[in-house]
Amino acid sequence: MKKILDPDKETWAAILKRPTQSYASLEPLVAKIFTEIADEGDLAVKKYTKEFDKADLSRLEVDQSAIDHAKDTLSVELKNAIELAKSNIEAFHASQQVLPKKIETAKGVICWQEKRAIEKVGLYIPGGTAPLFSTILMLAVPANIAGCEEVVMCTPCDAEGNIHPAVLYTADLCGIKKIFKVGGIQAIAAMTFGTESIPQVYKIFGPGNQYVTVAKQMAMKFGVTIDLPAGPSELLVYADDSANASFMAADLLSQAEHGVDSQVVLVCRSMEKLGEIEKELDEQLKKLPRKDIATKAIENSKLIYCSSEKDAIDLINLYAPEHLILSTTDNARIIPMIKNAGSVFVGNYSPESAGDYASGTNHTLPTNGYARNFSGVNLEAFQKTVSFQEISKEGLVQIGTAIELMAEAEGLFAHKNAVTLRLDSISDNTKN
C-alpha cells in the first residue's frame, strides 16, 4: 500500500481516485451485448454465457433437482448460520415499514402517502470469484417484506453449468422461484428486455463488477431503474491510537480479497498505529487463501496519515466510502461529522464482515463515491410512494381561489376552469 503523510488538499482527488475504468470505455461492449439480447433473446444470452463463463447451456433456468441436491449438500451448521442471518436481516428491514399518516393541510384538504411494492424485481447475485449467497438475503428479504409479486434471480454458473449449493439453498429459503444461470452484462440485459426464458423486470438490484455496474446504468436507458451504482468493493478505516491494529488490518484485507479492483484506505491520526497496522497487513496477507487477489487490490490502496482531525474527516467525506470503520477514542462525537458513507461500523468490535453477513443491515451499498448522493439498499428501495388527496367542498373553497390565480398566472386556463366549475357548482348549491 502506498503511504502518504499529511497530503495537501489539492492532491486529495488524485490520491483517492478509484481503480476503475470509465463508463465511456466499457459502454461500447455493454451496448453491443444489450442490442443482441434485445434482438435475439435466449440465443444471445447463451452465446455470451459460453463466451464469458465457458458454460454451454441448453437451459437457462435452474432445475428443481439442483435445488433439492443443494439442500442435501450443505452442513446443518451452515444452514443454521444462514437462517440466523436471515432472521436478523428480516428484523432490521421490517422495522423500516412506514404506516400512512394523513395530514389536513387546510380545513377539508386531506393528503397522505402510501407505499406500494414494485411488482417485478430482478436480483443480480455475483459469483465470479466467490459465491455471494449472503447477497440473496440482502435483496430477497426486503423484497418479500415489501410484497414484490415477482422476484427473478440471475447468478453466474461455472463451466459445467453448476451454481454453488449455498446460493441455491439460500434462494430457496427466501422463496425465490425463478433462478437463472446467467451472469454479467447478459444477465442485466436479459432482465431489462425479457427473453423467452427470463422475465422482464421493472427494477434491478445487486452489486457486481465494473461491467455489471455499467450494464445497470445502461438498463436505465430502456425504462428499467436500478437500486444504486454498486461496483467493486471498498473500505475506509479511520483509526487513532485506540485502534486494535490486528483487527483493522483484518478488516482492510476482508475487502481487498473481494477482487483485484477493490480498494481499501486507512486514514490514521497516529504514525505509530499506522506502522502497526501496516505490519499486520503484511503478516496477515501471507496467510490468506485469496492472497493473490488481495495483493493486487492492495496495490490500489492507500495508508494516509493526517495530523488534523478536520482534514481527516473532510477527506473521508470526500472519498464517500462504501464501508467506513470508526476506531477512535471518541466515536460518538465523530459520528455526526460523517456525511458521506454507505454503512458505518463503530468501534473495535464492529467488523465490516458483520454487516456483510449477519448483523441485519444491508450490504448492498453505493461505491465509487456515490455515497455522496445514494443510500444503500433498504426496504423503501423495493417500494414506490403513491400520494393521495381527498378534498371536500369546504376544502376546495379554502384553496380554490389560490389555484385559480396561480393557473391563470401560468396561462393554463383549463387548469383554472377545472376549479372554477366546481366552485360555481358549490356556490349554486349553497344558494339553493
Domain count, the chain: 3
Identify the bridge partners of residue 384 per DSSP, sorted by sequence position.
116
Same domain, 59 and 158: yes
Same domain, 56 and 172: yes
Neighbours of 405 (CB within 10 A): 11
Say if residue 415 carries a ligand binding annotation.
yes
* Active-site choice (322, 352, 363, 404): 322
Q: Grid cell 442435501 — which residue?
A: 72
Of 211, 261, 260, 221, whose CA–CA distance to 48 is shortest? 211
Say if residue 363 carries a ligand binding annotation.
no
d(CA 192, CA 205): 12
Same domain, 338 and 247: yes
323 catalytic, yes or no? yes
322 catalytic, yes or no? yes
Same domain, 70 and 189: yes
Same domain, 336 and 425: no
* Active-site choice (234, 257, 280, 323): 323
pLDDT of residue 232: 83
Say if residue 330 carries a ligand binding annotation.
no
Q: How many alpha carbons fall within 13 Å on the CB side of residue 229?
A: 17
pTM above threshold 0.85: yes
Rg from Cα positions in the chain:
26
- 234-239 and 178-180: which strand pairing? unpaired
Same domain, 12 and 109: no
d(CA 212, CA 111): 40
Same domain, 45 and 172: yes
Question: Has residue 366 been placed in a domain?
Answer: no
Question: Has residue 356 been placed in a domain?
Answer: yes
Report residue 277 as a C-alpha cell: 497496522
d(CA 367, CA 103): 37
pLDDT (tens digit, 9 = 90+) per residue, 231-268? 788 999 999 999 999 999 999 999 999 888 899 999 99
The answer to whether residue 129 scores a pLDDT higher than 80 is: no
Tell me the residue range of the domain where 170 lies. 23-231+380-384
122 pLDDT tier (thresholds 50, 70, 90): very high
Same domain, 250 and 152: no
Say if residue 362 carries a ligand binding annotation.
no
Same domain, 249 and 227: no
Same domain, 219 and 113: yes
Identify the bridge partners of residue 204 per DSSP, sorted by sequence position.
122, 226
Say if residue 398 carries a ligand binding annotation.
no
Q: How many residues does the chain have?
A: 432
SS3 (DSSP) at 216: helix
pLDDT (tens digit, 9 = 90+) per residue, 297-353? 998 899 999 999 999 999 999 999 999 999 999 999 999 999 999 999 999 999 999
Same domain, 238 and 225: no
Of 315, 377, 48, 314, whose CA–CA distance to 183 is shortest? 48
Same domain, 64 and 206: yes
Say if residue 113 carries a ligand binding annotation.
no
